[in-house]
Structure formats: structure tokens, C-alpha cells
Amino acid sequence: MTHEGILFVSGTSTGVGKTIVTAAVAALARAAGQHVAVVKLAQTGVHDGPGSDVPDLETVTRLSGVTDVHELARFPDPLSPEAAARVSGLPPVDFGRARARIEELHATSDLVLVEGAGGLLVRYDSDGATLADLATALNQQGLDAPVLIVTAAGLGTLNHTALTLEAAAARKVTTAGVVIGSWPRDPGLAERENLIDLETLTGGPLTGVLPADSGTLPADKFEAVARDGLARRLGGVRVCN
């Protein structure tokens, strides 16, 4: 079974593996025969020339084979979307247009994955619009748009995850589970204990655990890792809540 409809992918912080998790969900949905579209609301820290990171959607396409991808804004500085737009002099993400694009893709796709930048409450414009606001707006339109939370494995993750889950609940944003985006090859005491405590926070097994360096794999091996690492509700075989 794979997810259908709209699924947001957000993190508890930056660098926790949101893009790899997005690619993993996309790969399994595509393998199941679904038409998948992927939206990146804002790409920051990408510019022309040496020293620029590979855009997230290029990584998603390379790993999953999904080519129906949409980047709504790009800013050169590695900052929050609102700050990156401000310092570059470029217009911020227009959430009205973003919502319309997602709705259009929803009408023609089995699954629309929407990857946010950073965490659930990161600002996208000077009015303070957040991913939580966009998910709420789509839900108010009658569209089911839960948020999959990607978190880290090491120290600090318990507080970050708890705060993110509380923020989602306070805003009545449905969560689709919690995934550890980068599980170390040789987990230490903190990681092993955090795995137990994260399951306590979520009320049961996690919705996925992807190994570190998954993003360096070729597409066929990545799909196998995604299948082993993600829950059945996301197309995988991992026994999760």
C-alpha cells in the first residue's frame, strides 16, 4: 500500500534528510504504478557556479526516477526562505500560487509530495506564512494533506520532535508519522536510546528509518533501501504504526 493524495514532508530542523525521505516515498509510489508529482516550495543555498549545492529536486529525480517536479522559488543564500528572499531582493514564495499549483497537480496525479524547507514553522514571507499554514489551507479546501515529519537520530532530536508534534497538533495539522532520515551505520548509545524514546513520543513504532548515505546509492539499490526502511503505509515493508 502506498500513500495517495497530498503528502507534505517537513523536518524537525535542517539537514535531517527531508529530500532523501521525499525521494524514498516517491520511488516506492512510482514503483507501484502511481503518477507522482513533487513540489519544492523554496530551494535555498543554490546559485550558479562552483560551491553550489545540488538542487533537491535533481536528487529526487536521480534517486526515484520521478520527473514531474516543480520548484516554486530559488534563492542563492542558505537561509530560511523568508530571509533568503529578503537579502536577495527576490519576491518570496506566493502561497496562493503554491496552493493553486498543488491543487492542479492533485487533480492529475495519484500522489503529490510537497517538500518544505527546514521545519514546520519556518517563515516563507514577511507575513510569517509557514508550511503548517499551507497544510491547513489545503485541509480547509477539503483536501487531505498530512505532514510526514523527518527527524534526526542523535542528541537533541527528542526535544525537536516533541516540539514539532505539539506545534502540528496545536494547529490541527494531521501528521503522517515520523521518519528518521539518516540512521548511522554505527549508532551510539544516544541513537539507540533515542529510537526507544522517539517511539514513546509517537505512541508506537516509527513510520520509517533510512540509513545514512542512502542518497549516494544508485536508483535500483535506493528503491530497495526505501522499501526496507519505510512503513507499509508509504509502500515499504517495515512494520510500523
Residue 81 has pLDDT above 80, yes or no: yes
Backbone angles phi, psi at 38, to 5 degrees: -125, 130
Angle formed at CA 130 by CA 36 and CA 232, multiple of 5 degrees = 35
Per the CATH hierarchy, to which homologous superfamily does domain 5-234 belong?
A: P-loop containing nucleotide triphosphate hydrolases (3.40.50.300)
End-to-end CA distance of the chain: 14
Q: Is a pLDDT exceeding 70 seen at residue 2?
A: no
Q: What 3 state SS string does 171-230 have?
A: CCCCEEEEEEEEECCCCCHHHHHHHHHHHHHHCCCCCEEEECCHHHCCHHHHHHHHHHHE
Helices (DSSP H) in 13-94: which residue ranges?
A: 18-31, 56-64, 81-88
Q: What three-state secondary structure class fits 135?
A: helix
* The one-letter amino acid at 55: P
For the chain, how many residues are written?
Answer: 241
Burial degree of 2 (CB within 10 A; 0-12, 13-18, 19+)? buried
SS3 14: coil
C-alpha cell at 196: 526507544
Please state the pTM of the whole predicted model.
Answer: 0.94
Among 40-54, 85-99, 126-140, 207-221, whose mean pLDDT is lowest? 40-54
Residue 223 predicted with pLDDT over 80: yes
Domain ranges of the chain: 5-234
Backbone angles phi, psi at 80, to 5 degrees: -60, 155
Q: Determine which one of 18, 40, 172, 221 is catalytic.
A: 40
pLDDT band at 1 (very low <50, low <70, confident <90, very high): low
Q: Has residue 9 got a pLDDT over 70?
A: yes
The amino acid at 229: G
The pLDDT value given to residue 4: 77
Radius of gyration of the chain (CA): 17
Q: Is 40 a catalytic residue?
A: yes
Cell of 236: 515499504
